[in-house]
Structure 1
């Protein structure tokens, strides 16, 4: 769906500016910019790990589907304030072996070498580590789990003006995400385990990072770290209907995206992709793998919202704001001067719309898409 198909809220420009930048909403700052400062990414850009590049994984580990310490997907700087009751499993949750698509030979879960291998070497007929990881990210059984059915998730009708309100909002949504994805993960022959959830403000410590500006998912302990103070800033920035719609749709998008990373972890896609990123021959190749990871998470989060669109109430102004501003805000164009590690605005719009409209994980397979679709 093109930008021209979406009706603009009152006072908003009809579409992108001639230079391709995101238009302002009326006289207010760019949606997603708490405090009215310059446009800053609110989802998707954490601190660079390991020198001059952003990495999703640290040095290779022997267990292909183990928890890769140092795996950071979205950064955050803040203090731990509450561990949600939504947390159903501890970090000792069992490692999940990936499922394979037709024609892909399964191998030992401990067979991944600790250094890049020559995929042409080894036992005839058994793929090398790179081939195995490529097979996982491209053909995992999760992609064949089918169309997602609604769980009739309903958005709490509460102002996101306090910590308790935002935490309750997220807890409701993550409960819905657990119900929605459990049967699909199991249909892909993977074991389901709900993520732990931590709400925070200020600064936070995690196994993945001690310095990052936004909400993030940490695979090392399978935890969503949700920075509630940004949601409060967005809500309080202006009291008009469009701004309040943006703050709600942004929170919903954020939770869905982070939960998408958890699904990737459960399926074995995330650790396999992190290994591919680590083994990539140059920075451009590493950034492309990173973009495939992030765009898939956005697509999966959008699939949930699309499946529950009617019960959640994503219609009218909410739908316009979701498509015009939430999708647009996630492009690498907003990460001024940073690495192209999450995908261009047009790529996020493509994959988010794809997930929202088809509600099928098969259509979120960014790892088989052409390079132009993950630019």
Structure 2
């Protein structure tokens, strides 16, 4: 009898404790850190429900309370947004070595990213607005400094004015050797768009506050890796959303994973973006499990964001 009473007391206390905490999201599935190509028979279509609802909707509109947004890194409201919308977005045959064609490709696929992400954020109650773009043939200066940044050829997102900056010639030099298919480069732009999603949801603000509070360089680098790898995961989610129309067949899926298994922090450089293994794993995570909570890099162990 005493044992039963003790168990009941523990259960009641646990339930009381849960009532004092905000509801957490579903647990994230850990990414696979071992590189292997996507199977050629992978099914990229989602299963649709086969039954229609049997009840008729109420004729009277129901009033929904305004959702209280969670803007933290670990339990952000974004993780309840589900998947980006499937978007008809054909890539075409633009040359990355032609500034006008490359710029048009970036702007076209950027609009596709907005069509994919806007409904998801709106479902979560997060105010939506698209980013702006500044695309130069060679280089320029923006609100966050030079673009490309000194010593870099890659694009970047500037949160102070919600703008993605890129140099077409610099990107062609950086990513051209990865292959002629422009989907690899567009996935990089989807990574930068992922930073915009983090900014809108408050994840970036929360990450920056944690960074300022960190007392060690290694701690700040660890936070940066979680931030960057999440954007990579979001990039994978977008590429999955346009797989049918882009198109991205089995060979191209494997090409994307191969590329990310070669992208990461260079030896001897800052450990701020994650190693090649982690980049490949989180891109694959977003592509194969395209739900926002599956990209929650803030709740996994350090080995998954190394």
TM-score range, shorter chain: 0.7 to 0.9
Aligned length: 244
- 1:72-87 to structure 2, matched below 5 A, reads none
Q: TM-score scaled by structure 1? A: 0.61
Q: Contact 1:6–1:324 (CA<8 Å) still a contact in 2? A: no
- Cα 1:330–1:235 shift into 2, 3 Å: closer
Aligned residue for 1:366, secondary structure, equals: coil
Q: Deviations over 1:70-102 (max 9, x none)?
A: xxxxxxxxxxxxxxxxxxxxxxxxxxx9822xx
Q: What displacement does 1:318 show? A: 2.0
Residue of structure 1 equivalent to 2:302: 371
User: Which of 206, 221, 229 in structure 1 is aligned with 2:169?
Assistant: 229
- 1:320-359 to structure 2, matched below 5 A, reads 320-325=254-259, 327-332=260-265, 335-359=266-290
Residue of structure 1 equivalent to 2:200: 266
User: Which of 96, 99, 116 in structure 1 is aligned with 2:69?
Assistant: 99
Residue of structure 2 equivalent to 1:215: 155
Q: Distance in 1 between matches of 2:131 and 2:176?
A: 29
Aligned residue for 1:226, secondary structure, equals: strand
Q: Contact 1:98–1:136 (CA<8 Å) still a contact in 2? A: no
Larger Rg: 2
Residue of structure 1 equivalent to 2:229: 295
Q: Contact 2:85–2:119 (CA<8 Å) still a contact in 1? A: no
Pairing 1:140–2:172 present: no
Aligned residue for 1:318, secondary structure, equals: helix
Residue of structure 2 equivalent to 1:199: 135
- Cα 1:268–1:229 shift into 2, 3 Å: same
Pairing 1:160–2:99 present: no
Unaligned runs of 5+ in 2: 1-31, 40-66
Residue of structure 1 equivalent to 2:293: 362
Q: Distance in 1 between matches of 2:233 and 2:160?
A: 23
- Cα 1:205–1:231 shift into 2, 3 Å: closer
Q: Distance in 1 between matches of 2:173 and 2:226?
A: 30
Residue of structure 2 equivalent to 1:31: none
Aligned residue for 2:212, secondary structure, equals: helix
Unaligned runs of 5+ in 1: 8-96, 101-134
Q: Distance in 2 between matches of 1:299 and 1:342?
A: 12
Q: What displacement does 1:281 show? A: 1.7
Q: Contact 2:99–2:168 (CA<8 Å) still a contact in 1? A: yes
Q: TM-score scaled by structure 2? A: 0.74
Q: What displacement does 1:201 show? A: 3.7
- Cα 1:339–1:234 shift into 2, 3 Å: closer
Q: Contact 2:88–2:246 (CA<8 Å) still a contact in 1? A: yes
Q: Contact 2:35–2:277 (CA<8 Å) still a contact in 1? A: no
Q: What displacement does 1:186 show? A: 1.4
- 1:45-60 to structure 2, matched below 5 A, reads none
- Cα 1:159–1:201 shift into 2, 3 Å: closer
Q: Distance in 2 between matches of 1:201 and 1:293?
A: 28
Aligned residue for 1:191, secondary structure, equals: coil
Q: Contact 2:97–2:169 (CA<8 Å) still a contact in 1? A: no
- Cα 1:230–1:364 shift into 2, 3 Å: same
Q: What displacement does 1:233 show? A: 3.9
Q: Give RMSD over aligned pairs.
A: 2.3
- Cα 1:303–1:209 shift into 2, 3 Å: same
